[in-house]
Amino acid sequence: MTLHALATLVRLSLSRDRKGAASSVFGVSVGVFALVFFVSLGLGVGALVRERIFPVDANLVEVVPPQLSLGPLGAGKLDDAMVLRLSAIPGVAHAFRKMSVRVPAVSIYDGDFFGRRLRMGVEVLAVGVEKELVEQDVQMGDFSDPGPGKPVPAVLSTRLLDVYNTSFARARGLPQLSPSMLVGFSFPVEFNRSFVAATPPGPVSAEKAQVVGVSSRGLLAGLTVPLETARRLNQACGADAQTYSAVALLAKDPSRVPELVSAVRLMGLRVDDAERSLAENIGAAVAMTTSAFALLSVLICVVSAFNIFHALSASVRARERDLGVMRAVGASRRNIFSLVFAEAALLGLLGGALGTLLARLAAFAVDRAVIAALPDFPFLPESFFRAPWWLALLGLAVGLAASLAGAWLPARRASGVDPARALAGQGG
Partner 1 sequence: MISVKGLVRTFDEGRPGAVTVLQGVDLEVQKGEFVAIVGRSGSGKSTLLQVLGGLDTAYQGEVTVDGATITGSSDAALSRYRNEVVGFVFQSFHLVPGLTSAQNVALPALFRPGGAAAGTVARATEALARVGLEEKLSRLPGQLSGGERQRVAIARALFSQPKVLLCDEPTGNLDAITAEEIVALFTGLNRAGLTIVAVTHEDRLRAAASRVLSLSKGKLS
| Interacting residue with partner 1 among 83, 326, 346, 353 (CB under 8 A) | 326
Would you count residue 8 as binding partner 1 (CB under 8 A)? yes
Residue 138 Cα to chain centre, angstroms: 23
Biggest alpha carbon distance in the chain?
A: 119
Contact range with partner 1 by CB under 8 A, out of 2-10, 83-91, 264-272, 347-355: 2-10
| Interacting residue with partner 1 among 321, 364, 370, 393 (CB under 8 A) | 321
Among residues 175 and 416, whose Cβ is nearest to partner 1?
416
Report the distance separating Cα 98 and Cα 217, nearest Å: 12
Report the distance separating Cα 181 and Cα 156, nearest Å: 12
Would you count residue 317 as binding partner 1 (CB under 8 A)? no
Contact range with partner 1 by CB under 8 A, out of 101-109, 168-176, 284-292, 418-426: 418-426
| Interacting residue with partner 1 among 288, 328, 361, 393 (CB under 8 A) | 328
Residues in 334-363 at the binding interface with partner 1, rule: CB under 8 A? 334-335
Would you count residue 314 as binding partner 1 (CB under 8 A)? no
Report the distance separating Cα 322 and Cα 9, nearest Å: 12
Contact range with partner 1 by CB under 8 A, out of 128-136, 142-150, 190-198, 321-329: 321-329
Among residues 234 and 415, whose Cβ is nearest to partner 1?
415
Residue 256 Cα to chain centre, angstroms: 21
Report the distance separating Cα 242 and Cα 223, nearest Å: 20
Q: Least separation, in Å, of the C-beta of 23 and partner 1?
A: 18
**Is residue 377 exposed (0-12), middle (13-18) or buried (19+ Cβ within 10 Å)?**
exposed
Q: Are 338 and 392 in contact (CB under 8 A)?
A: no
52 DSSP 8-state letter: I
Q: Least separation, in Å, of the C-beta of 55 and partner 1?
A: 57
Alpha-helical segments (H) within 136-226 = 158-163, 169-172, 179-182
Q: Fill in the per-residue mask, 146 to 165: x = in contact with partner 1 (CB under 8 A), - = not in contact.
A: --------------------
Would you count residue 428 as binding partner 1 (CB under 8 A)? yes
For helices 274-318 and 389-415, what crossing angle results, to 10°? 30
Q: Are 200 and 103 in contact (CB under 8 A)?
A: yes
Among residues 265 and 317, whose Cβ is nearest to partner 1?
317
Would you count residue 331 as binding partner 1 (CB under 8 A)? yes
Q: Least separation, in Å, of the C-beta of 341 and partner 1?
A: 16
Would you count residue 19 as binding partner 1 (CB under 8 A)? no
Report the distance separating Cα 205 and Cα 190, nearest Å: 6
Q: Are 364 and 328 in contact (CB under 8 A)?
A: no
Report the distance separating Cα 42 and Cα 385, nearest Å: 7
Contact range with partner 1 by CB under 8 A, out of 44-52, 236-244, 253-261, 329-337: 329-337
Residues that bind partner 1 (CB under 8 A): 1-2, 4-5, 8-9, 12, 15-16, 321-322, 324-335, 419-420, 423-428
